[in-house]
Amino acid sequence: MTIYRAQHSGFCFGVKRAIKLAQDAKAHYIGKQIFTLGELIHNPQIVHELKNGGIEPANSVDELHDSVVIIRSHGITRSERLELQQNGNVIIDATCPYVARTHELIRDMIREGYQVYIMGDADHPEVIGMLSYGDEHTRVISPREDVCKANYQKVSLISQTTQKMDDLIDLSGKLLNCTKELRIFNTICLATSERQTASLSLASETDLMFVVGGKRSSNTRQLYAICKAQTECYHIEDETEITPEMLIGKETIGITAGASTPDDMIIKVYNQIKEINRDPSFAKSIEEIPLFKEESC
């Protein structure tokens, strides 16, 4: 059995930054209770570790008064930020810079009179935050939606940062048929695009893929959809979900991981596959897991 790790898998820049800011806050505000508004990132293991270290997730702004509050990497709504300020909280902004840019673009496009469409998952915290920077006409749309029900003179299309590039291109083509002026902003972060391309490449060469990451993680679910279209695939949060039955008859196995998945979780998944296969050559570091390149197969 051969096992490969996809390039560009695991923690992205925004997640690393958010965790570093949380660690710095803990070191700076010694003895003070620190909160995150919602989960800092969509990874249950990391959220649990932060909680054990004294950084507690809060479910609502109403709970937070005169506290130290870390804004999650997905960002928050404009009204939530204002309420945090009014309630006397110390705010540490861990919003991913790529997400923060979407807020600025939406504000700019509204100011310039554009009908703004946000391509993304309407229930995702990132998109809920983005929507709050629009106006009453700003809409969240899916790639498969009929966007030409209404004709607008000026339309701006802005994407959730973890969406698929192919979907952005397809939706842009649809909008061109029903507007006179279209401004498209490629707000899909580079790490997401690279991760998707690498996962697709690996999935096309394997008998089985494991996509590692939180079940609520948008970018991980996108990876799962991409890999599942190519080969047999499982979306798992940790190594305990892997069973011997999954590996029967599989010769080449791929592992990829979402942006909120730490290296040690990828290592645990790799070693669990090895253990089931009765192969004692376990990895102690991420570098010891063979990295897939086009020539690998």
For residue 33, the tally of other CB atoms under 10 A from its CB is 10
Whether the predicted pLDDT of 273 surpasses 50: yes
Q: Using DSSP, how many helices (H) and how many strands (E) does the chain show?
A: 10, 12
d(CA 179, CA 217): 33
Same domain, 66 and 160: no
Same domain, 58 and 105: no
Q: Which domain covers residue 70, as residue numbers?
A: 13-95
Determine whether 241 is an active site residue: no
d(CA 59, CA 96): 20
Whether the predicted pLDDT of 192 surpasses 60: yes
Same domain, 199 and 281: yes
- Residues 39, 80, 126, 237: which is the catalytic one? 126
Same domain, 121 and 183: yes
- Structure tokens that stand for 148 in this block: 């030409």
For 122-147, the pLDDT digits (tens) are 999 999 999 999 999 999 999 888 88
Helix residue ranges per DSSP H, the chain:
13-28, 44-52, 78-86, 97-111, 125-131, 165-176, 190-203, 218-228, 244-247, 263-276
Same domain, 114 and 158: yes
Whether the predicted pLDDT of 181 surpasses 50: yes
Whether the predicted pLDDT of 217 surpasses 80: yes
Listed residues 188, 218, 253: the one ending a domain: 188
Same domain, 120 and 161: yes
What average pLDDT does this structure show over 239-257?
Answer: 97
Same domain, 85 and 19: yes
Three-class DSSP category at 230:
coil
Which CATH number goes with the domain that contains 49? Answer: 3.40.50.11270
pLDDT at 31: 81
State which H helix or E strand residue 20 sits in. Answer: helix 13-28
pLDDT at 297: 47
pLDDT at 160: 96
Same domain, 7 and 17: no
Listed residues 74, 95, 116: the one ending a domain: 95
Same domain, 52 and 89: yes
Whether the predicted pLDDT of 268 surpasses 70: yes
- Structure tokens that stand for 114 in this block: 């554009």
Same domain, 162 and 234: no
Same domain, 139 and 209: no
- Structure tokens that stand for 44 in this block: 């249950």
Listed residues 95, 123, 143: the one ending a domain: 95
Q: Which residue has the higher pLDDT, 67 or 32?
A: 67
Which CATH number goes with the domain that contains 292? Answer: 3.40.1010.20
In order of 81, 222, 235, 293, the CA distances from 277 in angstroms are 50, 29, 20, 23
Same domain, 145 and 218: no
Give the number of domains in the chain: 3
